[in-house]
Amino acid sequence: ATPRLRRLQRVQQLAKHLPGPPAWPLLGHAQLFMGLEPAQVCELINELAIKYNGTFKLWLGFNFSIMLFNPCDVEHVLGSSQLLDKAMEYDYLRGWLNEGLLVSRGRKWHRRRKIITPAFHFRILEPYVEIFDRQTRQLLKQLAQACQDQQLVELGHFAHLCTLDIICEYGKNDTIKIWLGPELNMLIGNPKDVEVVLGGLRFNDKAHEYKALEPWLAEGLLVSRGRKWHKRRKIITPAFHFKILDQFVDIFEQESRVLLKNLEKERQLDTKEGFNLYDWINLCTMDAICETAMGVSINAQTNVDSEYVQAVKTISMVLHKRMFNIFYRFEPTYRLTMLAREERRALNVLHSFTEKIIVQRRQELLQRAGASTTEADAAADVDADVGAKRKMAFLDILLQSSIDDKPLSNMDIREEVDTFMFEGHDTTSSAIMFFFYNIALHADCQRKCYEEIIQVLGKDKATPVNYELLNKLHYVDLCIKETLRLYPSVPLLGRKVLQECEINGKIIPAGTNLGISPLFMGRCAELFSDPNSFLPERFDVVTSAEKLNPYAYIPFSAGPRNCIGQKFAMLEIKAIVANVLRHYHIEYAGNATEPPVLIAELILRTKDPLMFKLKQRTD
Ligand code: HEM
């Protein structure tokens, strides 16, 4: 027998004498845990501990564990200087923590522990107490408010915001480091450093967190790197040319008309608590991006239950969870979760849909290339079975592009189209929702927006918006910019340092993650006067005294890897808000004196939905 087999035989021999539930061949006790929710796993372990008097064995396949609940046993293990190595389950942490103190062993652990211990000396901890105190008071205020409102208090959430505030406290105005195990993260808070990072191509690689996007977006523009990114960016840039955007305004117009119908139903319901505007806007922006990116209508606004719409919603939820919940970060354990199963199902729907459209459109283009001009024109008017229409700039440009004289494969195109789908709808809907929130709270701003819209578009509500008219909405433009300062749709950007480098005198080691927060910078008093007030005029180049630093205001990021879709986004937002505002006066139905609790995930959102009421305009 091999040494491994001999070891297993020995384990099996000794295990026989230990208490524990009966085991199945090969599976061991794994079947006991299959399909259980995390809370049920804890309950089961608790029951087994009681049943077997504090000590029991568990076979998970060939993996043998003993669970110890008896204080004498616990003392023996934790008090020992021999039993210092961590269990196999900790290996999943290595992808993130590498050999940080938590998982390291032997001599390495000893040495590290020795040098890290002084960092927790009371003299070092003492100055932190003031920060804990201040942040806890803030936490208490939130809790007191929650009790007053008789809400159920979700402590975990408040605690999370409190720790975020502590980090921001350190980072005020500057660049700070945060160690997560051996992984160094730098949070960059000053525009000079931001300029070095975003202003060139040296820091073009995205941070580790973006990996969660790969199952859906593969190597699309948002996550790709190096030469691939360069070449793709070059061929995609023309897709956002103003002549192409001009055609899309029709789509924005049509989709906002459908939105108006849905809003009218909500207005007629006229409930006391108002309604969640975000959900309707999100469906509207999903319709708009689907039609502009792929040329097909999914009719999300009229068919919320469609498989594709549900899959987009599922995948957005999965991405949020994977990026921000540590339990879903480690691939091997993640693969076994229900979430992973949901993700696989949703990806299958999304990828098959995109592929079908690409294949079909490629064939159409080939047929048209081989046909005479009149035949081609006739074919151009026929919609295919998935409802393909003629305005297909994004997909068309990709299909007609080549890199190194080779056309892009279906997979190449799919990743870019999926990237548009992802980047192009939650971002704009978040911006539109916060826009309405801000102007609902600032009656004067709402009035000015409305007056400008009427002045530019005229009184006839049936007049469609177009590219030229939207560009004349100057005051609306200022309100959108100010909204994105206070509520940037992408609250955090991350880059990875591949080689040791210098940022304004600071030497940054290779492997560091760089974090830049448009949300934090947008509210920094050193960068914006009266930062918490909604003051759209600050962006007016003619009247504003404030000179804005392009690296302080970065909702669309900045530099060569900025948002490629920003002009598209501004047009779409303007088309939707202009159409809604000329029909309705917007009222905020929540508590206007309390700012919403923000959750800075992949896309900025509020803890509770923002609720609105609408009043039909009769003038
Ligand atoms: C208010 C709306 C939007 C905001 C605030 C926004 C913001 C951003 C930000 C901050 C980035 C940089 C991300 C990073 O470095 O990790 C980005 C990248 C990107 N955005 Fe947007 N975006 C918006 C709308 C759109 C739309 C409508 C589209 C497409 C139609 C789009 C397509 C992209 C793409 C493809 C990238 C990746 C560019 C690259 O890496 O070269 N975005 N966006």
d(CA 319, CA 215): 10
Q: What number is the ipTM of this complex?
A: 0.99
| 413 CA from centroid of ligand 1 (Å) | 18
| Model pTM above 0.90 | no
pLDDT confidence band for 378 (50 / 70 / 90): very low
Shortest-distance Cα residue to atom 16 of ligand 1: 493
Q: To test ligand 1's pocket by mutation, which of 281, 423, 430, 576 has the most ligand atoms within 8 angstroms of CB?
A: 423
Q: Which atom of ligand 1 is nearest to the CA of 229?
A: 41
Q: Which of 115-124, 214-223, 286-295, 457-466 has the lowest mean pLDDT?
A: 115-124
Q: For residue 460, what pLDDT is reported?
A: 92
| 220 CA from centroid of ligand 1 (Å) | 12
Shortest-distance Cα residue to atom 43 of ligand 1: 563
Q: To test ligand 1's pocket by mutation, which of 217, 287, 563 has the most ligand atoms within 8 angstroms of CB?
A: 563
| 569 CA from centroid of ligand 1 (Å) | 9
| 213 CA from centroid of ligand 1 (Å) | 14
First and final CA of the chain: distance in angstroms? 91
Q: For residue 170, what pLDDT is reported?
A: 47
Whether the per-residue pLDDT at 179 is higher than 70: the answer is: no
What is the biggest distance separating any 2 CA atoms in the chain, rounded to whole angstroms? 91
Whether the per-residue pLDDT at 519 is higher than 80: the answer is: yes
| 542 CA from centroid of ligand 1 (Å) | 28
Joined tokens for residue 217: 């977006």
pLDDT confidence band for 225 (50 / 70 / 90): confident
Residue 176's DSSP bridge partners are 187
Q: Which atom of ligand 1 is nearest to the CA of 233?
A: 41
448-457 pLDDT, tens digit each:
999 999 999 9
pLDDT, greater one: 98 or 422: 422
351-360 pLDDT, tens digit each:
999 999 999 9
pLDDT confidence band for 156 (50 / 70 / 90): very low
| 224 CA from centroid of ligand 1 (Å) | 13
Shortest-distance Cα residue to atom 9 of ligand 1: 556
| 309 CA from centroid of ligand 1 (Å) | 21
| 562 CA from centroid of ligand 1 (Å) | 7
Whether the per-residue pLDDT at 528 is higher than 80: the answer is: yes
Q: To test ligand 1's pocket by mutation, which of 323, 427, 479, 576 has the most ligand atoms within 8 angstroms of CB?
A: 427
Shortest-distance Cα residue to atom 42 of ligand 1: 565
Element (H, E) at 508: strand 506-508
| 565 CA from centroid of ligand 1 (Å) | 6
Shortest-distance Cα residue to atom 19 of ligand 1: 563
Whether the per-residue pLDDT at 153 is higher than 70: the answer is: no
pLDDT, greater one: 492 or 35: 492
Shortest-distance Cα residue to atom 37 of ligand 1: 222
Shortest-distance Cα residue to atom 20 of ligand 1: 563
For ligand 1, residues with CB inside 6 Å are 206, 221-222, 233, 419-420, 423-424, 427-428, 431, 488-490, 493, 555-557, 561, 563-565, 568-569
Q: Which atom of ligand 1 is nearest to the CA of 293?
A: 30
| 202 CA from centroid of ligand 1 (Å) | 19
pLDDT, greater one: 513 or 450: 450
Q: Which atom of ligand 1 is nearest to the CA of 419?
A: 35
Q: Which of 61-65, 109-113, 174-178 has the lowest mean pLDDT?
A: 174-178
What phi, psi does 442 have (nearest 5°)? -115, 90
Whether the per-residue pLDDT at 392 is higher than 60: the answer is: no
| 561 CA from centroid of ligand 1 (Å) | 9
Which is nearest to 183 in space by CA: 211, 219, 208, 210? 208
Q: For residue 157, what pLDDT is reported?
A: 44
Q: For residue 480, what pLDDT is reported?
A: 98
* Inter-residue contact 399 to 388 (CB < 8 Å): no
| 430 CA from centroid of ligand 1 (Å) | 13
What phi, psi does 440 have (nearest 5°)? -70, -35
pLDDT above 90 covers what percent of the chain? 31
Residue 63's DSSP bridge partners are 60
Joined tokens for residue 17: 């004498």
* Inter-residue contact 595 to 244 (CB < 8 Å): no
Q: Which atom of ligand 1 is nearest to the CA of 568?
A: 27
Q: How confident is the model over 515-541, as a mean pLDDT?
A: 89
Q: How confident is the model over 223-238, as a mean pLDDT?
A: 89
d(CA 248, CA 237): 16
Whether the per-residue pLDDT at 5 is higher than 90: the answer is: no
| 210 CA from centroid of ligand 1 (Å) | 13
Q: For residue 322, what pLDDT is reported?
A: 78
Within 8 A by CB and 6+ apart from 394, the residues are: 236, 239, 292, 293, 294, 416, 417, 420
Q: For residue 387, what pLDDT is reported?
A: 44
25-81 pLDDT, tens digit each:
777 887 787 777 655 665 777 788 788 887 888 887 777 878 876 666 776 667 667
Please state, as a whole number, how many other Cβ atoms lie within 10 Å of the Cβ of residue 17.
7
Shortest-distance Cα residue to atom 27 of ligand 1: 424
DSSP per-residue letters across 152-189: PP-HHHHHHHHHHHHHHHHHTTSEEEEEETTEEEEEE-
Whether the per-residue pLDDT at 186 is higher than 80: the answer is: no
Whether the per-residue pLDDT at 598 is higher than 60: the answer is: yes
pLDDT confidence band for 154 (50 / 70 / 90): very low
Shortest-distance Cα residue to atom 6 of ligand 1: 556
Q: Which of 178-187, 307-316, 372-381, 389-398 has the highest mean pLDDT?
A: 307-316
Within 8 A by CB and 6+ apart from 470, the residues are: 249, 571, 574, 575, 578
Shortest-distance Cα residue to atom 23 of ligand 1: 427
* Inter-residue contact 361 to 396 (CB < 8 Å): yes
Q: Which of 75-79, 407-411, 429-433, 458-462 has the highest mean pLDDT?
A: 429-433
What phi, psi does 160 have (nearest 5°)? -65, -45
pLDDT, greater one: 453 or 190: 453
| 489 CA from centroid of ligand 1 (Å) | 10
pLDDT confidence band for 488 (50 / 70 / 90): very high
**Mean pLDDT in the chain?**
81
Q: For residue 556, what pLDDT is reported?
A: 94
Q: For residue 264, what pLDDT is reported?
A: 95
